[in-house]
Every structure is written in C-alpha cells, then in structure tokens.
Structure 1
Amino acid sequence: MDNSLTFLDLFAGAGGLSEGFIRAGYSPIAHVEMDPAACYTLKTRAAYHWLKKQKEIQIYNDYLYGRISRSQLYSSVPESLINSVINSEISENSLPAIFSKIDSLLDGQSLDLVVGGPPCQAYSLVGRSRDLNGMKGDKRNYLFLYYAEFLKKYKPLYFVFENVIGLLSAKSPEGDLYFKLMRDLFRKEGYETEFKILSADDYGVLQKRKRIILVGKRGNDIGFFPEPDKWKPDVNVSEILGDLPKIKAGEGSLFACELGKYEGNYLYESGIRDDDLPVTLHQARSHTEQDINIYRIAIQKWAEKRERLNYNDLPDCLKTHKNRSSFLDRFKVVAADMDASHTVVAHISKDGHYYIHPDITQIRSLTPREAARLQTFPDNYFFENKSEKRGRTAAYRQIGNAVPVLLSQKIAEKLKVVWQF
C-alpha cells in the first residue's frame, strides 16, 4: 500500500463515488455493498486498476472481449483485492462481521476517510409520492445510524455523505427531519458537518442532477466544505452519443464494439473515452411497434418544435395507459442539442421510455453505455450481472443509482486541498 489517503466506501453501489476518489489519488481499503451484481462490478473494477498498475492490462482487454471468464479475470489478481469487496447488507447483526473483515484489510493502518450514501429511495420525493405510507417505517430511513457506527469505530478525519435533495424535507413518523437527526448524531460522534446542494452539470457532467453533499470533519472546525471547481465545457449532449455505433432497437452487443472517429476534446478531458480498451454494453432494448411509433413522434416533436411529448396528445390508437392525469411526460427524448440531459435514474432499468435516443434513424432508448457516459463513467468501466452471463438490466440499475464519477472526482480533489492533518 502506498502513502495515499485511505478510504472506505459504504453502500458503494457500482462505485461511481469511489472511482472519483481513486482518480484523485485516494486508495480504497474496502467497499461494502448488498447487491451481488454491483459487488461483481466493484471486483471487476478493482481488477482493472490492479492490472493497469501492473502493466498487465491485456488480461482485462481479453475479458472485455469475452476471451476469458470473470472467474479467470479474478484469479489473475491478488485474492485480497477481490475480498476487499464485502457483499453484505449493513445492519445491526452484520456489523461485527463487516468490522472484522475491514480490520483484517486495514492490517493496523488507520482509515483516513469514509464515503458513501445510503439508498436514496426512502428520502426521494418521487419515492415518497409513490409509496402509500410516504416511506414512513421504511428501515432504509435509519441506515445513517449504521453509518455513524463506522465513524465511531474507525474515527476517520473526514467523511463524505451523498444523497438526494429530498432528504432535506423527509420526516420521521414523529415529525423530526431525518437530516437534522443525522447531523445531530454525527456531532455526537465528534464530527462537525457542512453541506451544499451541488448540480452535476456545473462540474463537467452533461446531465441535470442535483444532490446533497454532506461533509463531516472530526472536531469543531468550520469552513471546511470542499466546494469543487466548476467546469462548464462548451459542448452539448450530442458529444456523448455521436461516436458510438448507430444501432436500432434490439441491435448492438454487450461485448466489444468499435468507436467512430472523434475529433473533440470533452470525452478525453472528462475521462470517458479510452482508445486503448474496447467499449462494451452498447446494446439497445427491443421495443414493440407501438413504442417505436410513440418514440418516432416524440423525436420529431423535439427536433422540429423543441417540444416534449404530452401523452394525451398521442393518437388514441397509441394510448394504452389509463392514467391520463399524471406522468404525462413518460416518453421523453434525451436532448442532444442541449448542454445537459435530464437526470438518469434507476427506473431506466424498467423501461427506456424516459430516455429516448434523439436520432430519428435509430428510434430506440439509450443503451447502458450511453447512460454510463451521461454519468461520466469511463468507457472501460464494465457493469456486471449477478451471474457471469452479461446483461442490461442490472447495468441500467447500477448506472442510474450511481454518483457521477466526474462530480466525485472534483469533490475528492478539492477535499485534498482543504485537508488538515
């Protein structure tokens, strides 16, 4: 282990937050995540970083092409690296075992930083509006209690906690704001906290995505929030889509594909495009003829009038939903001619209606790779399935739940600037 700052990633998901900190020079000790597919993604990414450092990246290249299995990839790196991804739900019962594994991985080292945010469904405005009980009584509301247990045990100098802005208004059954309960608990454990709402499109991410970033520092200091440097690249969302192969609904491959010519700078400056490794997961869903007809109308409406499709404006023969009073924008085109898309969320794993590709010659929803690019994941990032068989659904879900890598990197870089030893 080198002398870089060490961190632990809780509720790690597919590793968007972690990847940004790794890019900024931090070293992960462990990732804790309950979803098996996301854990395989984290293991595969750990293998990538190790193989790249050892100048053995050809092994990873072979994996992306499907020449070797996932098991063979993992056997090519130290077992301790694979074991640093802890597949476990974080709960009162699981904490002792998780602590034991982390202690073994630390091997006497101190832990400098904890990052991560509990699943956001319990705090999101959409989640509360769809749940009959407004998410009250959902055990995910209280996962911050376990987060505090990690702070209590490892006493990092800082922690970075990310979540949806609905957290600011979410209340317990007793009427207390969860956000206040969190901050009070963190203060009790010895941490002053500061927070801001950051919008990803202010930091080089071509996507409208607002999140709360809560940063804690051990002690009583104030004025330490690592507000990242803004970057507004002079490009549109078309930059994300243009060099990927043109495919129609049902076409493409989960394995390697060739990129087209690219003469811009953004994809390189953001860390997305990698000309040394193949691009994967550029496979589109199949769609019904009815959906394709709706997509065509939505694309034309945006291209010709820059207007969104209202479901009630469709011909009667294309209307199948009984709900005609809400979610009228359920079919939405990704606006290639704007500087940021609408927010990518995990619902993209259910259907692609809210993420229609803007090219009238393709008429389909976004592929996992296109969604990953909107989240600024590098093209060499592979999203795993629970089984070794490659699939789209798990990839979409992981991508939609992730923190944009570039936003994380910007926060991590500024945290180094304000770091006090």
Structure 2
Amino acid sequence: MKILYVTDVEGNWDYFLRFIQTVQTSPHTLNALTFTDASHTRLVLQRGYQFVFGGDVGDKGVGIKSGPHWLPETTRQPLGIIPYLSKLARNGQDVPTTSTYSSSSINYTALDAVNTKKKAISDENVLDSFLESVQEGGDLRAYLKHCVLGAVLGSTLLVHGGIIMTANDGRVRSCLGRVPPADSTVSYAAWVAELDALHDEEDHVVEKMDIRQWIDELNGWYAAQILEWERYPTWNATHTFRGGENLQHYVNTGAAYSVVSGRHLERSGMPKQMPQAMTTLLWSQQLHRMLVGHTPHGNAPTIVKHRVLQDGSSSPTRDFQVIMCDTSYSDMDAPDMRGQCASMVVVTHHPHGTSTDGHDGDKKEDDVTVWIEGFIHHELTNVHESYGFNTSEDPFVGRALRTGQWVKTLLAHDRYLVCVVKDSRAYTYSVKSRDEVCEAAVLV
C-alpha cells in the first residue's frame, strides 16, 4: 500500500497541477495520479495507492470552486479525494481508480472574471454561488458529507491540524481521546472548560485510550454533526440552537482539543515536540508517524522527529515522525504566496511490514519508506532546485541545531536547508554543508 499525500491546496489550481506534475515525473510515484485529458477534467489513480487530500480545499486561491468538483465516477463508493482523509481503508473498500469533475459547472471566480471576461462580479453573485454550493445537490455539501476528521492507514496517523495545542498558560492540550458533545444543545465552551479543569486527567487518558477506536468515534461524531446541520441548518427562533454548531466551534482557528486546529508549533513558529507520554502511546499502538497540514511552515514539508523509548530502556531507539506539509506561504513575495514551490509525500507500507489495518501486523517489524519530493525556489539563499529524500535515512533532517535553527530539507550534494522562525511567520533560511550541520547537531 502506498499513501500519496497532498494538503492545503487552498484553491490554488496551479499548485495542484505542479503537485500532479511531481507525481507524474518522480520515479517513486511514476504516473500514480494523472490527468487523462488536456482539459484536466479526469484523474486516474493507480491501483495500490491511497490518495489522501489533507484538508483546506479552498482559502485564498482563485480556484476555490474547483476542488469540490473532484467527484468519483461511481456514487456507490465514498469519495477517493476528500478534504480530510480517506474513509476507504477504514471501511475495507477499494479506492476508485478514477475521479472526475465537470469543468462546465464551475463558476468563474472574481479574479477569473476580471481577467478573462472583463466584467465585474457583484458581492451578491459571490454569495449566491457559495449558498448554492451548500444546498442539496451542491458540490461543497457533497464534499463535506464525504469527509472524515482522521484516519489510520497502516502505521500512519493522519489528521488535518495535529493532536496538540499550546494553551495560553503554556500547557499542552492533548487532543487524544477527546470527542466533543454530539448534541449541539450541549455547550462546546463548557466541554472545553471541563477538560481544562481536569489537570490530572492527561496521564490517565494517555495510558488507557485506544487511538484507532478514538478516530472511529471522532469520525462518527463528525457524521452526526453533519446530519444535525442538514436537519436544522438555521438558528431557532430564540437564536440558541442550530445544527452542527459544535462542529463549527471545532474547526475554528485555535479551537481547543481539535485535530483540525491542532498546531505542532511553539509560539515563535518553530516546531514543537510532543510530550514523551504521547509519543510512547502512539508507538505502543504501532503508530510511527503522523501527516498533518493546516499550519503553513515554510517552503517545504517540515519533519519533527521524536525519540521514542522502547522496552523499558532508558536509551531512545526509534523516531516518531510528525510531518507538517502545509506550504501555502512558501514564497511571500509571489502574487499567490506560493511561487514555484511544490511538494509531495508518499508513504510506502511494504508487503512484509505492518498490515494495512494496523492490527494484524502488530508483532511485525514496521517496514515503511517515507519519501518527500518537490521543488524549492528561494532567492536569498540562491536555492532553485528539486529535492527528494527518505525521511528516516538522514540523521539530521527533522532535528534542531545548537544554533536554534531547524534542519528542514536535505538538498543535493550533502547540503541542508535550515531555518529559524520568529514571530510565527518571519522565516530565515540558510544552506549548510553536512559538516556544518554535524558540528551543530544535537543528537540524543
């Protein structure tokens, strides 16, 4: 099984086309996902792949209406390309091998109209377009109904944002085991306050919970909230209830205990390590990595390696990897804030390794390759090149240096792109040789 992953396209159609181009040309995914026609209306996914779109289909990009039109050719199976993750592996179903969208049904965006039709689009036109998309039969409505909030594919956990959030008091809020109230008459804020008040519960939750069961319960909660929204889409007469209200709170920026709004970052914007108890729990349940998006982090995916203690030993022997893949602000000087950068992640679960459901192979060695590939364009460091590497083979990528920099990407000729982040979005990059990185590395 291979997981082909991209996230946070955010309405940027050109970026998605660059991702497809990377998939088509890489020897690790050669033509795994391809368009079959020049008009880009039909995608074909090779068998043996799970295509996971990690979320944020539309945001600041001018192609915001395009993403929800990636609909399956058959309506008998769940969507293979969805905003959070694939239901297919969880349900033991085959992935549809083709996916289509109808280009004729996609309304022009405001920018498209100005540039190509030379006519103005009113605010009312925009509002009507979005309202139509969430009505019965609308594209965004169908898109939401095929979403899930999390998935476990083999030894890989996938959520949109993450499983931790740092509270204002500096305490790490763990999302593990947290499922909000299914009935939106029960206050989301009260639920958060109750969890915050349980200072001693964290260790208990970490020790006792089953992560796969929690993911199933979380996805069940999401489905119930969508159903509640469909039944009661507007406020009641007293403005005290509307369907899906708790889900709206859950996906807000900064929402507590939310895998959608989780952030694996320090307040500065530098990568944040999870508490040891969390990585120990994840590893003990045969989960060895997590793919996330949501929070932009530079011009290439950022790996955060966590040393894991095993078998009661005091010496760390393995690394749990958090791979943050949102690169939507890869070039702040470019008109679309992405520029030429593009990336893909492919996770290969080899046949003799962990089983695809994560249970039957519990006693087997995890035989997985994580390959990250893409293109970086950065003027100040004079880096304009393709890159590709196995995240486990290099000892430095995904770790901090004594200089305060983070080793972000392995480049050609034993060079590394390192970065430091201040004030959340001020990135400073530099290129270092292997000898320089080795001298400044903090390896434990």
TM-score by length of 2: 0.26
Higher relative contact order (CA closer than 8 Å, sequence separation 6+): 1
Greater helix content: 1
TM-score by length of 1: 0.28
Greater strand content: 2
